A and B are shown apart, each in its own frame.
Chain A
Amino acid sequence: MTSAAPATAAVPLGSPAGAAPGWSAVRTTGLTRRFGTHVAVDGVALEVPRGAVYGFLGPNGSGKTTTIRMLLGLIAADDGEIELLGRPMPERLADVLPRVGALIEGPAFHPHLSGASNLRRLDVSDATADPATSRARIGQALTRVGLTAAAGKRYRSYSLGMKQRLGLAAALLQPRDLLVLDEPTNGLDPQGTREVRHLIRDLAADGTTVLVSSHLLAEVEQVATHVGIMSAGRLLRQGPLTEVLADGVAVLRVTTPDLDAAGDVLGRLGLASVRTDAEQSCVQARLGNVLTEDVAAELHTAGVRLRGLTVERPDLETLFVSLTGEGFDVVE
C-alpha cells in the first residue's frame, strides 16, 4: 500500500477496507454490542489516525457512548476487535489506558470531596503516576480548565459547567497520547466551549490524538480533522472532514433572466433535480460530478445571460441531517 493510506479515504465503512498499515490511535473492526435484542453498536469499524482530531457524531442513542465504553474496556463487545494505540483491547488495558485520558458520558466524582481531592484520588489510583509530581500535575490540570479558584470547593457545590471542567482536568492529569472525550462541552458556557476548542487544538498540536463526540456540529467543524457519523448503531461515514463534506450534495444555483435556456443546459450536462424558480429568476440543480467551470462555459456558449452563479456545499449540519434523517424521534 502507498502512503496515501485508505484510512484517510472517505469510504462508507463497515468493511475492514478502511484499515491502514501501521498502527492507529483507535481502530476497531466489526465492533458490535447488543442490549437484549437491540443492537446498540452494529459492525462499527472506527479508524482514528494518529494525530487526528476525530469528531464522533450521531443522534441521541446512535451508539457513541456505547462504542466509547467498549474502547475503554468498561463493557464487553459481543463481536469485533479493538486496538487502542496499536495494542489490542481489553487484553492490554493495563498498558494502554495510562496513556489515554477519558471523559465518559459526563463527569462523575465523589460529591463530598473537593475538586482537588477528587483529582488526588484518581492520581493515587494510577500505578504509573509519580506521587512526587502529583500536586503539581493536579494544579496544572486545574489551571488548564480554569478551575483553580474552585479547587477547594466540594464537588457537590459545583455548577454543571464546573463539573464538566473537572472531568476534563481528570483526563489531563498525565500527558496523554489519546484523549477520548464524550460530549466535553455539555453544559459549558460560550467561553468554556471556546476554551475547550482551544484546549483540543493545543493538545492536538502537541501530538495528542483526540476522539471527541459532540452534538455541536459547528464546534466540531472548527476543530475536527476527521469525522465519523453514527446512526442507529452503524457508522455511516468516516474520513477526513474535507472529504466527508465533499461527499455531500453541492447545489448549483444560476441566476439569469433566461430560465428555460439555462434549465436546458443543466439538463443536458446531466445535473440532477433541475428546478426553476421564476420568482427568484434562478435555476437550481445538484452539481454531482460536473465541474462548475464546465457549467459556466456551457451556459456562456448557449448564450445564457448570467447574473450570478453560485455553488453551495453543505456544512456539517446539513450533511449530518441528510445522512441521519430529519426525524426528531430517537431511532431504536
Chain B
Amino acid sequence: MSSSEPVAAAAAPPWRTAPHLPGAFRRLYAGEMRLVLGRRRNQALLGVLAVVPLVIGVAVRLSTPRNGDGPQFLSQIAGNGLFLVFTALTVALPFFLPLVVGVVAGDSIAGEAGTGTLRYLLAVPVTRGRLLAVKALGVASCTALAVLVVALVGLLAGAVLFGLHDVTLLSGDTVSLADGLLRTVGVVVFVVVALFGLAAGGLFVSTLTENAIAAMATTIGIAVFSALLDAVPELRPIAGALLTHHWLGFGELLRTAPDGGALLRWSLLHLAYVAVFLSLAWARLQTKDVTS
C-alpha cells in the first residue's frame, strides 16, 4: 500500500522515531493495576471474597457439622484450620470467584470502550497488541489476587480459630504441616490456572461490546452455563472438556500420591481455553472499529 506512494518515498520526513523507554511496559501495567484496584467496586468484591472463609470458619466454630454434610472438607476444619482454605475455595469456586473474574475481565476492554477512554489509550498510542497484553496480564493478576484473598484469609482464620496441625489426607495418611502447606500452594496454583480459562473468556467477550455490564454478565453466564451443562447426564461423554468441569479437581492434591498426570491434563485443558480465547480476543481487537 505504502510502496505505491512514490511521493512519500522520495521525501522521507526528517524526524526520527522516538524510542520506547526502558520499563515502559511495566509502567503501563502498573497504571492498569492502579486503575483496577483503585475502583471501589473491585475492592468491595475482594472484600466479599475475604468474607467467605470468615463466615465458614465462624459457622463451624459455633456448630459441629455432622460428617458428610455440607461442602468438601467441611468436616475436617474443626480438626485442622488448614482445611478452611480448601472448604472456602470449594464454596467460592462455583459463584463468588467467577463473579469477581467476570466483573474484572468483562470490564477490562468494554469498560474503556464504554467510557470512551479506549480511543484515547489507542491514540497515545498503546498499540492494540500491547493493550491486549496489558489487559490480559491485569486480569490474570486480579484472578490470582482473588484466589489468594480466599486462601490467605482462610489460612489466617483457620489458624486463629482451629490451629494448624499435621494434615490427615483423604486417604487417611497423615503428612507434616509443611507438606500440607506445600500442597496448599499447589491447590492455589491449580485453582488460579483453572480460573484463567474463564478470565480469558471474559477478556474476549469484553472486546465484543461497549457495554461493560453485558460483558460481565456474559462472562459469569459462561461459568454458570458450563456448570449447568456439566449437570446434564446426557452430556456426560463431553463433560470432561467443559470449562468448569475440573475446577474442583484440586482435591487430587490432598491424596497421598496425587495423580500428577491428571492434574497436568486438566491444567493443560484450562490453558488451552486461555489460548483459544486470547487468540479470538486478539483477532477481534485487531479489526475492531473504535467508534465509541
Chain A contact residues, CB within 8 Å of chain B:
19, 21-23, 69, 72-76, 81, 83, 85-88, 91, 93-95, 97-100, 102, 104-106, 108-113, 120-122, 124-131, 170, 177
Contact = CB atoms under 8 A, between A and B. Distances in A.
A74 B122 CA distance: 7
A128 B20 contact: yes
Given A88-B1, A94-B127, A110-B35, A128 B119 contact: no
* Highest count of chain B CB atoms <10 Å: which of A98, A120, A128, A170: A128
A88 B2 contact: yes
Nearest to A87: B13
Contacts of B130: 127
A21 B24 CA distance: 37
Contacts of A104: 119-120, 123
B5 A81 contact: yes
B233 interface: no
* Highest count of chain A CB atoms <10 Å: which of B7, B15, B115: B7
Contact of A86 (B11, B19, B21): B11
A72 B123 contact: yes
A124 B28 contact: yes
A122 B120 contact: yes
Interface in B214-267: none
A69 B123 CA distance: 10
A76 B28 contact: no
22 contacts: A19-B7, A73-B122, A73-B125, A74-B119, A74-B122, A75-B289, A75-B290, A75-B291, A76-B287, A81-B2, A85-B13, A99-B18, A100-B123, A108-B117, A109-B115, A112-B38, A112-B40, A113-B38, A122-B124, A125-B28, A125-B126, A128-B19
A110 B124 contact: no
* Highest count of chain B CB atoms <10 Å: which of A85, A86, A113, A125: A125
A23 B1 contact: no
A97 B39 contact: no
Contacts, number: 124
A129 B40 CA distance: 29
Interface of B: 1-2, 5, 7-8, 10-13, 15, 17-21, 23-25, 27-28, 30-31, 34-35, 38-40, 115-117, 119-127, 130, 287, 289-291
B122 to A, nearest CB: 6
Nearest to B27: A124
Contacts of A126: 124-125
Contacts of A75: 289-291
Contacts of B7: 19, 21
A83 B13 CA distance: 11
A118 B28 CA distance: 13
A108 B115 contact: yes
A125 B121 contact: yes
Q: Which A-B residue pairs are the 4 nearest by beta carbons?
A: A108-B116, A86-B13, A127-B24, A88-B2
Contacts of B125: 73, 93-94, 97-98, 126
Contact of B119 (A93, A94, A108, A121): A108
A97 B117 contact: no
B31 A76 contact: no
A124 B8 CA distance: 32
Contact of A23 (B13, B116, B122): B13
A86 to B, nearest CB: 3
Given A95-B17, A97-B125, A122-B120, A86 B8 contact: yes
A40 to B, nearest CB: 10
A128 B35 contact: no
Contacts of A74: 119, 122-123, 289-291
Contacts of A98: 18, 124-125
